[in-house]
């Protein structure tokens, strides 16, 4: 019956942890021999693999003690030990952390050759986002969720960014403020996403407007001088105005925080200077001109005139509900 280490030795999987886990008292040669025996390799095969990996990764002298190596050289030795049994699946947990740019390039160059020449699958985790541009596929993880999984160039083109760092930042913001990334991962085109969002928002406006009209007219017993359809269309058009304004701002800016700040700074002043809360007649003369040209003024004035021309407690309550 095979032992546990014999089963692991034949799995064809190589794993390199983020933390260097080597025997500091061993020489590089002794490490190769030790792990080669674990993987049931004969002496000749071990020596052949050791010499090949030393040449490929430009390792330190084989008789040098591991404890005397620099952090970058130890990481290269750790990678070489992971590759000694020629695994078909290679799992590397941040193999380039703490190494200089030359060593990082050397590691990625060797892994690229390994994939294309030996048909090896390499899965790498890294915090150095830009180095992942050499990979065939990149997956961004945020709070345990996969935000996107595509080729680097495809991600950059899809999200209209210049670097993978910008793509990740944009994906994280969209995860916080919306679900655009899910649509893109599903393969929808930008115009299809735009049409879906506009349709959903329009349906919401229609339902909310209907709820508002029914509540104000029936439950508050407002006298109605027009028809239900008149009031409903006015409220719906006001909602469409807000939706159009928000959509225009979103198309002009990419940063979610900038969009939110602009929407707040535009919508709230419109609410306060329009006749939605107070009648125009109650404002000073110099402010009435601004109120007359405010986008929300006409619709709210018509709504007040159509529903009830008397401004009392019920009117203030209904205006608050409209907000």
At 63, list the tokens.
């008789």
132: in domain? no
Statement to judge: residues 200 and 174 lie in one domain? no
Statement to judge: residues 115 and 151 lie in one domain? no
127 vs 241, residue with greater confidence: 127
d(CA 115, CA 121): 6
pLDDT band at 298 (very low <50, low <70, confident <90, very high): low
Domain boundary pick from 103, 127, 151: 127
pLDDT band at 317 (very low <50, low <70, confident <90, very high): very low
Domain that holds residue 210: 190-322
317 vs 179, residue with greater confidence: 179
Residue 138 backbone phi and psi in degrees, to 5? -125, 130
Total-model pTM: 0.51
Statement to judge: residues 46 and 118 lie in one domain? yes
Indicate if the pLDDT at residue 3 is higher than 50. Answer: no
Q: For the residues 1-20, what does the mean pLDDT come to?
A: 60
pLDDT of residue 179: 56
d(CA 205, CA 187): 27
Statement to judge: residues 174 and 123 lie in one domain? no
d(CA 76, CA 79): 5
210: in domain? yes
| CATH number of the domain bearing residue 14 | 3.40.50.300
User: Do residues 24 and 65 touch, judged by C-beta distance below 8 A?
Assistant: yes
Indicate if the pLDDT at residue 283 is higher than 50. Answer: yes
67 vs 254, residue with greater confidence: 67
Statement to judge: residues 158 and 120 lie in one domain? no
Domain boundary pick from 188, 207, 225: 188
243: in domain? yes
Residue 162 backbone phi and psi in degrees, to 5? -100, -20
pLDDT digits (tens, 9 = 90+) for 216-262: 677 766 666 666 777 788 778 777 877 777 777 777 776 767 777 88
Statement to judge: residues 150 and 216 lie in one domain? no
Query: Does an H or E element contain 168, and which?
Result: helix 164-177
pLDDT band at 26 (very low <50, low <70, confident <90, very high): very high
d(CA 11, CA 223): 80
Gyration radius (Cα) of the chain, Å: 33
117: in domain? yes
Taking 3-state DSSP, the helix, strand and coil percentages for the chain, each rounded to the nearest 5, stand at 65, 10, 30
At 255, list the tokens.
């940063």
State the total domains in the chain. 3
d(CA 173, CA 254): 10
67: in domain? yes
d(CA 78, CA 184): 38
Indicate if the pLDDT at residue 285 is higher than 60. Answer: yes
Statement to judge: residues 146 and 37 lie in one domain? no
pLDDT digits (tens, 9 = 90+) for 104-115: 888 888 888 888
Q: For the residues 291-318, what does the mean pLDDT come to?
A: 55
CA neighbor of 27 nearest in space, from 54, 1, 63: 63
295: in domain? yes
317: in domain? yes
Statement to judge: residues 93 and 19 lie in one domain? yes
Domain boundary pick from 127, 159, 177: 127
87: in domain? yes
User: Do residues 204 and 242 touch, judged by C-beta distance below 8 A?
Assistant: no
pLDDT band at 172 (very low <50, low <70, confident <90, very high): confident
User: Do residues 139 and 148 touch, judged by C-beta distance below 8 A?
Assistant: yes
């Amino acid at each position: 019956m095979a032992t546990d280490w014999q089963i692991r030795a034949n799995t064809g999987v190589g794993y390199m942890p983020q933390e260097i886990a080597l025997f500091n008292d061993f020489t590089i040669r002794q490490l190769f021999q030790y792990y080669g025996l674990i993987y049931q390799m004969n002496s000749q095969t071990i020596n052949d693999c050791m010499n090949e990996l030393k040449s490929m990764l430009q390792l330190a002298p084989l008789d040098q003690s591991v404890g005397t190596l620099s952090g970058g050289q130890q990481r290269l030795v750790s990678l070489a030990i992971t590759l000694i049994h020629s695994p078909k699946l290679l799992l590397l947990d941040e193999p380039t952390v703490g190494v200089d740019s030359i060593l990082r390039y050397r590691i990625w160059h060797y892994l690229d050759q390994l994939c294309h020449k030996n048909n090896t699958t390499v899965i790498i985790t890294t915090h150095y986002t830009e180095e992942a541009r050499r990979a065939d596929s990149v997956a961004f993880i945020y709070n345990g969720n996969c935000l996107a999984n595509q080729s680097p160039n495809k991600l950059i083109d899809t999200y209209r960014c210049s670097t993978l760092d910008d793509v990740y930042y944009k994906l994280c913001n969209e995860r916080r403020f919306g679900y655009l990334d899910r649509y893109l991962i599903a393969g929808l085109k930008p115009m299809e996403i735009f049409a879906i969002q506009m349709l959903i928002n329009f349906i919401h406006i229609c339902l909310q407007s209907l709820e508002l009209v029914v509540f104000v007219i029936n439950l508050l017993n407002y006298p109605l001088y027009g028809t239900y359809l008149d009031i409903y269309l006015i409220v719906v058009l006001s909602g469409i105005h807000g939706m159009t304004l928000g959509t225009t701002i979103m198309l002009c800016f990419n940063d979610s925080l900038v969009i939110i700040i602009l929407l707040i700074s535009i919508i709230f002043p419109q609410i306060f200077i329009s006749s939605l809360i107070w009648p125009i007649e109650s404002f000073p003369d110099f402010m009435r001109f601004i109120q007359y040209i405010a986008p929300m003024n006409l619709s709210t004035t018509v709504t007040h005139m159509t529903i009830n021309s008397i401004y009392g407690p019920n009117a203030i309550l209904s205006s608050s509900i409209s907000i």
